[in-house]
Structure 1
Amino acid sequence: MKKYFSILSDMERKIREGTYLPGQKLPSVRSAAASYECSISTIIRAYLELEKRHAIYSVPQSGFFVVEKPGDWRDNREDTMINFATVMPDLDAFPYLDFQHCLNKAIDIYKYDLFTYGDPHGLESFRHTLVSHLAGDQVFAKAKQIIVTSGAQQALQILAKMPFPNGKTAILVEQPSYDIYLRFLETERIPVYGIARTAAGIDLNELEQWFRSGDIKFFYTMSRYHNPLGTSYRAAERKAIARLAGKYDVYVVEDDYMADLGTERQFDPIYAYDVSSYVIYVKSFSKIIFPGLRVGAVVLPQRLLDTFHAYKIYPDTSLLSQAALEVYIKNGMYERHKHAISSLYASRMRVLNESVERYNEAGLLEVPRIGSGIYTQFKMKSTVNMEQLIKRLAKRNINVVSGKAFYSSDYLKREKFLRISISQTQPEQIDAGIKAIVEEVRQAHRWL
């Protein structure tokens, strides 16, 4: 099955990136089977699936051809901006037709339920579906521990506001971290402490000192594909965080919002190492499907359920969205799309890594080598004027984001970097953009 998904996603990528042009004939079934080293039946299945998705069409006795799509959104854009700032998923990678089918199916299945307000915990059948879905990421939980939320942000906000059994009030946050959550914590005037996280990881001794201090309610962390760094914790770090949580009565909120965008094998989240029930697992479906879907889930220890329920009074997550996503997962469409989009982003990250090696010979930028996800960090010397750099890049139609916004306002030990996102950049744009960034950073060094 994995071989089939790999072939299907590779064919989709070649069509999307122009290796196979509109109207072009695809390789014959036999030659494709030889190329992919698989059976003829696997290629036929892949071609039929692409035909169902209206990506190709068949001509009797002639073969399969790429569908021509006049008015394609990329062809009509006048904007030539290379956008390394956006975090929105690639519009071309959205599973429109598949999800439209699931919406129609969900209406047929749950037509009467859709006229009710629903359960604040989430659609019961959907939560049972999530039990097996999450188990694929080594998150083993019962349906009653899973609460469906209106995106991951709602879960994070409730957790920040609600009291915890340990009686503590402060939140320990990685610096840098998720900017919107940092601004929320500041607006709500919730006590926040910061601990440095770099491309090299986190200082576990310092983390233990904070946990031992007796003041930390929970530690908020992104274990993989960190925003904005793009890096992931090593297995030893994940195990240590879980152990320290149980030892010092400190909870860990693990925001695994990028779980489905990785190509790494056997990445077990912190939750998988939790033997004391101190890890809260938060998952979002926005990055993999549609941001507008607004469906997330939180897996809670038993002792936190009643309090979380009390703070989440209303059934505010669309029943139709939950029902459609349930159908999407059960039909195997989610797994197929997950493989396709993670492969897409991994291929773009490879281009980025190659471009950095090509143009950053002088080592002006410190860039971690990242294989998956959509983010990476371009760290530079503290003497570089970031505002001027961003303005010069904007004049060259390159949109980037400074790392400054990803720190708490009162946190002083900041690294100077750009957060680079490849979610909507094509390979040729990535190469041109990296070249321009290195040129402008080199120019900035000459002015110092």
Structure 2
Amino acid sequence: MNKYMSILSDMEQQITEGRYRSGQKLPSVRNAAKSYGCSVSTIIRAYAELEKRHMIYSISQSGYYVVEKPGDGEDRMESQIIDFASASPDVNLFPYLDFQHCLNKAIDTYKYHLFTYGDPKGLESLRHTLVSHLAGDQVFTTAERIVVTSGVQQALEILAKMPFPNGNSLILVEQPSYDIYLRFLEAEGIPVRGIARSTAGIDLRELEKKFKYDGIKFFYTMSRYHNPLGTSYSMEERKAIAGLASKYNVYVVEDDYMADLGEERGFDPIYAYNGTSHVVYLKSFSKIIFPGLRLGATVLPGSLLEAFHARKNYADTSLLSQAALEVYIKNGMYERHKHKINRQYTARIRTLNEAVQKYNDAGEIEISDVRSGIYVQFKLPRTVNLERLTNRLAARKISVVPGKKFYLSGYMEREKFLRLSISRAQPERIEEGIMAIVEEVRRADGLFILECLLKK
């Protein structure tokens, strides 16, 4: 068992056995790193995984806490919370029986092979299955260029540390962007720079300038259902980014982690428009099935295969999970479940949009134009105190994520917003939650005006 898995297992065991009680604060990232004798990035990754498993939760500028389990508290607070924070799949939509069948089938099919170390690149039969699976998203490749990783995060970490053929070292990231990856890059001291992205898209002229002059190793982007904006790039933007990558010999790492969530038709990723093999395509299976599966697919250009394999030189992904996923895809269960969860999430997004239209009549909140996926950005007036607002909402048992965490530490051009996720929000309580958010934003804006008047 590698260091990370050993630490994760120990943390999980301590929580399960009650050493850390419900609601108790966990050690800080730095203290935990010192205690386990590991890097800060390893602890960040472990805490992120525990958060995905809904065992702990984070509070901005405070730390990590153990989730209260049903029956642990007299009031059973967790069941009362309107959860707009969690991005984990809805446990009520998990295909237990189908996946149990796939696990049993995998054991019967592969038997003793499941007890070997396996290929570091991943189960060969799964990689061949993924060739046709990815083709449905216009990602045409071969099994030799696919690597099965322990989630997308592992691939991102390897790509950040390995050399690229262009000889550059600077990573360009959208701002805002995936918070866990930003913290990893900063903790590891990897050169990183931001470029603004809003719900309206990205400034392609600014992007070209950075590609041309800044020595960019690769540009990390989420082309659709962006976290935290919820929006997707237009076809023109995707084509332009693919063209710039070829023109300036800059690689693009396209994190298409929510490719299966949504009802967009005819969406071709950046990968499909690049003819010079300058795009690394990443896909996760955790958002459509469950985070604990920890499986992702990385499609690599030929020029990066050797360096990537050199850093992933041992099998660290469960062969049983891989075999079960292969059965799940080949039997058509994956496609059926994808349509089921899409219908559920699209209905929740629709309910949220209708509630915003109903209660945000004065337009205090700017909402991203999202019709599918799970994320929506609520852009707030500059006068609103974000910390005070989130505390007020927490007091009303409404959980949201403030936008500050999605920026690099030194990035100055920040928008003030909340990120809302509908994946764990009870459909019947979405309207109630939106109404409360609008009320609290109005209250916060009014307090600012009052404070200004009192100072005069």
**Which TM class, normalised by the smaller chain length?**
0.7 to 0.9
Q: Which position in structure 2 is the counterpart of 1:303?
A: 303
Q: Which runs of 5+ in 2 are unaligned?
A: 1-69, 449-456
Q: Which position in structure 2 is the counterpart of 1:223?
A: 223
Contact 1:252–1:279, Cα closer than 8 Å, also in 2: yes
Q: How do 1:322-341 and structure 2 match up within 5 A?
A: 322-341=322-341
1:369 CA drift (Å) = 2.0
Structure 1: distance between partners of 2:161 and 2:403: 27
Q: Which position in structure 2 is the counterpart of 1:24?
A: none
1:329 CA drift (Å) = 0.2
1:186 CA drift (Å) = 0.3
Aligned residues: 374
Matched residue SS, 1:252:
strand
Q: Which position in structure 2 is the counterpart of 1:353?
A: 353
Structure 1: distance between partners of 2:338 and 2:441: 36
Q: How do 1:93-104 and structure 2 match up within 5 A?
A: 93-104=93-104
Contact 1:176–1:197, Cα closer than 8 Å, also in 2: yes
1:214 CA drift (Å) = 4.4
Letter matched to residue 287 of structure 1 = K
The 1:136/1:387 distance shift into structure 2, 3 A limit, reads: same
TM-score, scaled relative to structure 1: 0.82
Q: How do 1:384-395 and structure 2 match up within 5 A?
A: 384-395=384-395
Question: What whole-Å deviation, never above 9, does each CA across 1:41-90 have from its counterpart, x for those lacking one?
Answer: xxxxxxxxxxxxxxxxxxxxxxxxxxxxxx9xxxx966310011111110
Question: What whole-Å deviation, never above 9, does each CA across 1:125-162 have from its counterpart, x for those lacking one?
Answer: 00000000000000000110000000000000000000
Q: How do 1:90-239 and structure 2 match up within 5 A?
A: 90-239=90-239
Letter matched to residue 102 of structure 2 = C
Contact 1:356–1:434, Cα closer than 8 Å, also in 2: yes
Q: Which position in structure 2 is the counterpart of 1:60?
A: none
Larger Cα-atom Rg: 1
Q: Which position in structure 1 is the counterpart of 2:247?
A: 247
Q: Which position in structure 2 is the counterpart of 1:363?
A: 363
Question: What whole-Å deviation, never above 9, does each CA across 1:79-105 have from its counterpart, x for those lacking one?
Answer: 310011111110100010000000000
Contact 1:403–1:417, Cα closer than 8 Å, also in 2: yes
Structure 1: distance between partners of 2:290 and 2:132: 22
Q: Which position in structure 2 is the counterpart of 1:342?
A: 342
Question: What whole-Å deviation, never above 9, does each CA across 1:332-359 have from its counterpart, x for those lacking one?
Answer: 0000000110111001000011001000
Structure 2: distance between partners of 1:214 and 1:168: 9
Letter matched to residue 355 of structure 1 = A
Question: What whole-Å deviation, never above 9, does each CA across 1:374-398 have from its counterpart, x for those lacking one?
Answer: 1010001122100110111111110
Name segments (4+ residues, structure 1) moved above 2 Å: 76-79
Contact 1:168–1:214, Cα closer than 8 Å, also in 2: no
TM-score, scaled relative to structure 2: 0.81
Matched residue SS, 2:80:
coil
Letter matched to residue 227 of structure 1 = N
Letter matched to residue 88 of structure 2 = M
Letter matched to residue 347 of structure 2 = S
Q: Which position in structure 1 is the counterpart of 2:314?
A: 314
Letter matched to residue 143 of structure 1 = A
Structure 2: distance between partners of 1:249 and 1:347: 42
Q: Which position in structure 2 is the counterpart of 1:397?
A: 397
Structure 2: distance between partners of 1:363 and 1:341: 31
Structure 2: distance between partners of 1:86 and 1:349: 15
Q: Which position in structure 2 is the counterpart of 1:426?
A: 426
1:290 CA drift (Å) = 1.2
What is the identity percentage for the equivalent residue pairs of Structure 1 and Structure 2? Answer: 71
Q: Which runs of 5+ in 1 are unaligned?
A: 1-70
Structure 2: distance between partners of 1:214 and 1:428: 49
Structure 2: distance between partners of 1:114 and 1:396: 49
Structure 2: distance between partners of 1:427 and 1:357: 17
Letter matched to residue 165 of structure 1 = P
Letter matched to residue 380 of structure 2 = M
Letter matched to residue 283 of structure 2 = K
Structure 2: distance between partners of 1:402 and 1:237: 27
Letter matched to residue 228 of structure 2 = P
Contact 1:138–1:269, Cα closer than 8 Å, also in 2: yes
**Root-mean-square deviation over aligned CA pairs:** 1.1
Matched residue SS, 2:252:
strand
Matched residue SS, 1:277:
coil
